Structures are given as C-alpha cells and as structure tokens.
Amino acid sequence: MPSTAEKLSPTRVKLTIEIPFSDLKPHLDKAYKDIAEQVNIPGFRKGKVPAAVIDQRFGRGVVLQEAINDAIPPAYNAAIDEAKVIPMAQPEVEVTKLEDKELIEFVAEVDVRPEITLPDFATVTATVDNVEDLDEMVQERLDILRERFATTTEVDRAAADGDVLNI
C-alpha cells in the first residue's frame, strides 16, 4: 500500500494512503458476509444472501463503506510504521478518492510526538543561588507555619497586641 507523509508542523503529520482494489478484495468479501448475516431477506436463509442480491437491495455503496471501514485501520497502521512517527491521538480520516474496482485513497491527519534534540550535557552549565541566609530562611518558614497552625486559648487579662478577639 503506497503512502506518503507530509509534515504540516512539528507535531502534525498528513498521511496520504492508497489501497489498491486487490488489497480491498478480502475486506469486500468480509463486508458481504457481515451484511448477509445481519439482514433477513425472504427466500434466503440468514447469512446465505448472495452478493448480487445485497448490491441490488442495499447498493454497492453500503458494501464499499463497510469494506473501507474495515480496511482503513491496517492501512493506517502500516503507513504510521512506514513514516516512523508516533501518533499521540486518533487520526482525522477523510476518503479522498473512491474508484470501484480500482483504488481507494484516503488522507489521515494526526498529532505526533515531536522530535526533540537534546544538547550535549558537557556544554550545559547550571547556576545555583548562593544560600548564605539559610538559617534566616528556615526560621522565617517556621514562623509562617506556626502562625498558620496556631490554636487559640482563652486568657483572663486585658486584650494585648496580637490577640484574637470575638465580639
């Protein structure tokens, strides 16, 4: 199945995939079989309806749609493997060309994992802040925690600065 990959952005890829009719034939046979098992047509046992009767009753389009829905996932997975991209979400699929007994072409746009190049670690430098006032910073954080988790107790005296009053 020929496919082409076009990079739309660093995180988005457009895959154009063609499925020749010879590859679609097994999916068409499966679609006819599935439809024959689901429908009840007078004069035929369930699951034994011929393909010509299904085409006559429901149209070739229904069968093609069923076959395409069955054929797209393996073709998409093969194109993903061929393009060597890692999809991050479900693709947006659109059938662009549908020629019965020739080929089917569809386009799948999908978000992919971006390629990241890391610099050489030997050249990377890091600056660390000087911690001169470590004791002072620790004491400040402890005071904040004491204030946050403080409990109140009743006292028998006049109100002073820092007391909590209920009126």
Domains observed in the chain: 3-111 (3.30.70.1050)
* Strand ranges for 100-147 from DSSP E: 103-111
How confident is the prediction along the chain (167 residues), in pLDDT tens digits per residue?
788 888 999 999 999 999 988 888 899 999 989 888 888 888 888 888 888 888 888 888 888 899 999 999 999 999 999 999 999 999 999 988 887 778 889 999 999 998 888 888 888 888 887 777 788 889 999 999 998 998 888 888 988 888 888 88
Q: What is the pLDDT of residue 12?
A: 94
112, 13 contact by CB (below 8 A) = yes
* Strand ranges for 82-162 from DSSP E: 92-99, 103-111
pTM for the full predicted model = 0.65
61, 97 contact by CB (below 8 A) = no
13, 83 contact by CB (below 8 A) = yes
**What are phi and psi for residue 138, nearest 5 degrees?**
-65, -45
Q: What crossing angle do the helices spanning 21-38 and 51-58 adopt, rounded to 10°?
A: 80
